[in-house]
Structure 1
Amino acid sequence: MEKAAENVEIAVLGGVGFNSYREFESQPVHTPYGGITTYFTTIRRKRVAVIPRHAGENHIPPHRINYRANIWAVHAIGAKRIISTNSVGSMRGHPVGSFVVLGDFIDFTRNRPSTFYDDKTVHVDLSEPYCPEIRTALRCALEKKGLSYTEGIYACTEGPRFETRAEIRMMSQFADVVGMTGVPEVILAKELSLCYASLAIVTNQACGLTTQKLTADEVTEVVGKAQDSIFEIISDTVENLKEARSCRCRFAKEGACL
């Protein structure tokens, strides 16, 4: 296992809100699934690791992200909590630029490795997939800033294409927002008994809910405008989290192995 870097307490996955992360201290982390580069900084007197999902020579598309390496790296450097940032499309008419604190998910991905355990059976408990302590801290940070947010269910699709009208009509029966990067991260975090929660930002209305063509440009534009707000939300969340975990996330794998 990689040596822990200066008592890192929390990892941020996604990098949204950290547009200057390349200026942070960087460290390569070697995992059984490949190497990644992790960036370290201090937020409100706590050491935080930032792992950009799409970082690479070219922008890594969602279906090609090495999710297992990213989550294993968090575990390897000794962090116990993960705050994920995700761009999502709304299937419930949420205003563009508003936030969603995720409470559950539905997995529509097809080709992504979603477990660390290929050689034995591990039925990890996902009755509470997102850490309640981090979710509470996220809600408090949003309310402190007076920012609009809701709570909801996340549908994760394979990508990299946008969804069809028919797919959105189907998924909207079960979920509130749709994205391409939140799964299998949340599952893999549970398998390592890590705390994981997601701050989702609505970047567009899902296909069929508007007459306009969906484009990647609008996603980038909304995320760019929200960078400062996201950084402040995450900073307040980091500050408000107690050092000791009292949630059930740390027991997620108990009784799961056959």
Structure 2
Amino acid sequence: MEKAAEIAEIAVLGGVGFSSYRDCESRSVKTPYGEVTVYLTSIKGRTIAIVPRHAEEIHIPPHRVNYRANIWAVHSLGVKRVISTNSVGSMRGHPVGSFVVLDDFIDFTCSRSSSFYDDTTVHVDVTEPYCPEIKAALKSALGKQGLSYTEGIYACTEGPRFETRAEIRMMSQFADVVGMTGVPEVVLAKELSLCYASLAIVTNQACGMTTQKLTADEVTEVVGKAQDSIFEILSDAIEKIPETQNCMCRFAKEGACL
């Protein structure tokens, strides 16, 4: 990839209900994987590139999101840090509306393009998938807002259906929350040596955790109510992220190529 133009410092990849981009300057970015609409704005004196993951008019289902194009697009704008927002179901009884700063992940997806390297062998290191510097900024911002949060392991499923009770019983032995959009996004960010971290919001109890039927409406309703809080958290976190990368994320691809 050619040297990226330094147009934005930090990217925010938004999930369901993410609407803070609507008043921003839009820019169409061409990538080898398709065209991506990116919204540029300034938050706390820093230039931010916002990508609404599910697009704007027709809601793209999680298994059809063009993850490679989205990550390539923000990297081509010079972005070095990526903050993801993800809606998740809790397998540990987290309160609906609470936040989880992701610490690790388990990948249960099966049909997604999960690498930029289809013709060469690159074993990228994901020992620490989520950037410690961005995680620290997110936790500090959550604390400043007085909001409840935990750290946890994320299980990513293929979707677009919700998981079965048996699947949740199985996954709950290894993970804390479940969602459909965090992978391969985090891996692709690693392949481009980007710092990446995720702020997950609990929108529901996972299948079988209650007797209620799961609906997409409750997901969008919870995220919609939390929009102001999410924006404040991200704004505070963006201000706290160091200008210079001092973590190991930028070395994720060193020694990975065969």
Common fold by TM > 0.5: yes
Q: Check whether the contact 2:9–2:47 (CA below 8 A) recurs between aligned residues.
A: yes
Cα displacement (A) at 1:5: 5.8
- Give ranges in structure 1 of 5+ residues lacking alignment: none
Corresponding residue of 2:178: 178
CA deviation profile, 1:114-155 (whole Å, cap 9, x unmatched) = 000001100000000000000000000000111000000000
Cα displacement (A) at 1:158: 0.2
What is the distance in 1 between the residues matched to 2:76 and 2:34?
13
Taking the TM superposition and a 5 Å limit, the aligned residue runs for 1:87-166 are 87-166=87-166
CA deviation profile, 1:5-48 (whole Å, cap 9, x unmatched) = 63x11000015675241221010000000001000000000000
Cα displacement (A) at 1:246: 0.3
Q: Check whether the contact 2:97–2:203 (CA below 8 A) recurs between aligned residues.
A: yes
Corresponding residue of 1:50: 50
Q: Check whether the contact 1:89–1:202 (CA below 8 A) recurs between aligned residues.
A: yes
Corresponding residue of 1:4: 5
Corresponding residue of 2:32: 32
Q: Check whether the contact 2:17–2:220 (CA below 8 A) recurs between aligned residues.
A: no
What is the distance in 1 between the residues matched to 2:199 and 2:96?
14
SS at match of 2:50: strand
What is the distance in 2 between the residues matched to 1:3 and 1:247?
20
Q: Check whether the contact 1:11–1:82 (CA below 8 A) recurs between aligned residues.
A: yes
**1:69 equivalent in alignment to 2:69:** yes
Tell me the TM-score normalized by structure 1. 0.97
One-letter identity of the residue aligned with 2:198: S
Tell me the TM-score normalized by structure 2. 0.97
**1:195 equivalent in alignment to 2:195:** yes
Q: Check whether the contact 1:17–1:228 (CA below 8 A) recurs between aligned residues.
A: no
Change (3 A) 1:26 1:104: same
Change (3 A) 1:10 1:221: same
One-letter identity of the residue aligned with 2:74: V
Corresponding residue of 1:168: 168
Q: Check whether the contact 1:18–1:231 (CA below 8 A) recurs between aligned residues.
A: no
What is the distance in 2 between the residues matched to 1:20 and 1:186?
22
What is the distance in 2 between the residues matched to 1:165 and 1:248?
38
- Give ranges in structure 2 of 5+ residues lacking alignment: none
Change (3 A) 1:54 1:79: same
What is the distance in 2 between the residues matched to 1:132 and 1:20?
25
Q: Check whether the contact 1:2–1:30 (CA below 8 A) recurs between aligned residues.
A: no
CA deviation profile, 1:63-108 (whole Å, cap 9, x unmatched) = 0000000000111000000000000000000000000000000000
Corresponding residue of 1:83: 83
Q: Check whether the contact 2:194–2:249 (CA below 8 A) recurs between aligned residues.
A: yes
Q: Check whether the contact 2:6–2:79 (CA below 8 A) recurs between aligned residues.
A: no
Please tell me the root mean square deviation across aligned C-alpha atoms, in Å.
1.3
What is the distance in 2 between the residues matched to 1:5 and 1:54?
25
Q: Check whether the contact 1:101–1:150 (CA below 8 A) recurs between aligned residues.
A: yes
